[in-house]
Structure 1
Amino acid sequence: MSGATAAQYDSANKTKGYKMLATGADISASANFLADTNSNSYRIASGVKTIFMDFNTDKTVKSIYVKNGLANISSGELAKTGANNTGSYAAQMYINKDGAVEAVIVKTDSTDAVSDNVLFVQARRGETLVDGVRTYTYRVWVNGAEDDYTSTDTVTAGYFATYAEKADGTYKLSSVAKTDAATSAFKITLTKANIDTANKNLIYGVNGYSSTPYTTNVSVNAFKMDGTTVATDIPGGSVLNTAGATWANTKTDYTFSSLKDIYDSTDLDDNDTVTLAFVMNNKQNADDRYKVSAIAVTAVTINP
């Protein structure tokens, strides 16, 4: 609950619209009430969503993460404003006609969990003018399946993007470019030796040799999405967890849906490599740091 001393819910507070959230205390995902800056308290609706919006310096939206349910939100996150611009609002909540909190809007990315609203942009299939606005059609991978999404936003093929559906059926797309946030994107080219034999969800030896319990010292670099710049935001010797990640197989000759599939593949020898683009929570102090949520197979190289 935001503000431990907030007043009990009062039916007089049933005013539909946006309210400013109290920012003096952390919000727990198990809270039943939220307080506004006037110390009024509101029940939380059963279908509440938490929306994290990260901003570019020009005040445009960089990424959107929508979490079903109430997230754990720190007081520091609540106090953030859009791009930290003077006059911008800090965290808000939307009150529905019944006086309950239907949505919480936070103006930064989340430490609570890696974004589940990400897709992989495989290609731009075309563009057109719709009512004078240039609109693009992208072939994307979302939740492990191919689809075509239409958007007025420009995103790069071969990269991940956050997405949010608009009322007209098109999508708001924002490229995932950060390497130190809850929703961060990387590339890695690995061999079977980088997959933990005891738990084939794990990539070990990232950016430096791993210590025990790993008996084989194998190191592999993780890169930014440009594929050439080492992602120094991942500490040396890190172990990445891909359990539960969704997979996009852009290389149609292979149908990998897990690291175990790569490890067990009879088509790959020990010196063959697989290049993966992936989205991971890499925010410091996050409970789910190094948790990978989405993977795209971008290259398979059969070496002599």
Structure 2
Amino acid sequence: MTSDTSDHTARFGPIGIWSSALHRPAPGDTGGVAEAVAELDELGYGTIWVGGSPSVEEAGTVVAATRRITVATGILSVWQHEASAVAEQVAAVERASPGRFVLGLGVSHDALTPRYARPYSTMVAYLDALDAAPEPVPARSRVLAALGPKMLALASDRSVGAHPYLVTPEHTAQARAALGPDALLAPELGVVLDTDADRARTTARAMLSFYLKLPNYTSNLVRLGFTDDDFADGGSARLLDALFALGDTDAVRARVDAHRAAGADHVALQVLTHDQAGGLPRAEWRELAAALALPRAT
């Protein structure tokens, strides 16, 4: 892994974990999430990204269950939560655990949001409302889901930076150029720890097929040189190999290094397993922490 460290890397850590299961625990889970996030804290990860459109309150339970790690929403949909209520909730988390929560914001997708319209203008208005709240959410405590040039520029101007999802190292290089040198760049990276290439691609394809129905992602992939042929049948081998780290921990390390060399301050790993039933891949999280030589908490 690269040894270069930015101020953002110091705050967010070089490696984080992204998981939607952290706010949607598997049926019958009676405390496994709290135990799992406490272990992520101890393993040395820098940030926990609570995926799957969580609320601030849901992410706040992760903050409460940990002691030092940064926790971020990955990503809260601006269509689902009023800005004034969000600002109030963020302030409450900040009072309880100063400096440990970051509000990740996104405009979601037309197919998922009945009111979807004018996403850029909607995000600008939402940020304005957060600024105008009785207890504003400061720019350094919010990050934007951003893929295209306009949203990346907004992320640089109005937040700590960008958290792109489902991207390649080439996109990371483009995003760094759009953001400028000072903004946080924290891409998500899907990981399948399986040395059987066909099986690993099948696991990744099971996740990717959903996102290939969403034009925000496919439009970004087209900008990166992929075509409709790559989107057929859940994703071509070329697309899967570009978007995911497939194989052993050395493959993951190499892909993390590629994102870091392209300008990422932090890489958020989303571990996928062949049984994607909402469980927590704790064994894989431990394996990656050891392989990536993360500094264990003391």
TM range (shorter): under 0.3
With the length of structure 2 as denominator, give the TM-score of the two structures: 0.25
> Structure with the greater relative contact order (CA < 8 A, sep ≥ 6): 1 or 2?
2
With the length of structure 1 as denominator, give the TM-score of the two structures: 0.25
Which one has the bigger strand percentage? 1
Which one has the bigger helix percentage? 2
